[in-house]
Amino acid sequence: MADVLPLVEARLRSALGEPDARAAVTFLGTDRIEVLRFQEGDIVRYATLGMSAQPMSDPTAALADPVKGPRAELILSVRGGLADTDKALRPLAVLGASPQVEGVVVAPGASLDIGEPLWPGAPFTSVLVAEPGGLVEDLELDEPLDPVRFLPLLPMTPNEAAWKRVHGAQALQERWLTNGTDLRDPSRKSVPLD
């Protein structure tokens, strides 16, 4: 079985350019998760590398399938220089390790709660997992492996996360769109929710 991670890193580099920084975090009982930083103009992108090494498995399954199952990496895009967003590396690594640690399947529409600000002073403690395919195309792997999907993360304020739980991801995204919300602004306020 080919090692997936060099292919994933090559796809990230072809889509986003050369990373200008990388950090690695290892949690007890899990594989290492790296976070790569890419800069393009005033946009800084952070991408996990390591989450896709193993397929995500249904937490209710008796045994995890070592081959079949969805694979993903996470990408967070923010405007650089407005906040200390490099401190988001550890929370992103925690989210990248969550399928191994908590047995969750990360998919579009899901909320991932960090339980603390995404970076110091951030108004966000959770993220909405968005649809893949826009920034980095899916990476097809040899059968029987599922493709690796690159899932954008959209930071949510606590009020937005609570509203999303009631009304759903689609309704929150429509609210952001209607209000012209700059989801890359690291210090933006909550969208009007009344």
Which has the closest alpha carbon to 89: 48, 54, 124, 29? 48
Number of CB atoms found within 10 A of residue 85's CB: 21
Query: CA 134 → CA 75, 87, 92, 125, distances in Å?
Result: 11, 25, 20, 24
How many Å apart are CA 8 and CA 36, to the nearest integer?
12
Q: Residue 109, by phi and psi: left (phi above 0), alpha (psi -120 to 50) or beta?
A: left
In this predicted model, what pLDDT tens digit does every residue of 16-55 receive, in sequence order?
999 999 998 887 777 889 999 999 999 999 999 999 998 9
Please report the pLDDT score of residue 62 as a whole number: 65
Which has the closest alpha carbon to 92: 2, 24, 164? 24
Please report the pLDDT score of residue 157 as a whole number: 96
Say whether pLDDT at 117 is over 50: yes
In this predicted model, what pLDDT tens digit does every residue of 127-176 receive, in sequence order?
999 999 888 999 999 988 899 999 999 999 999 999 999 999 999 999 99
Please report the pLDDT score of residue 64 as a whole number: 66
Say whether pLDDT at 93 is over 70: yes
The reply to whether the predicted model has a pTM over 0.75 is yes
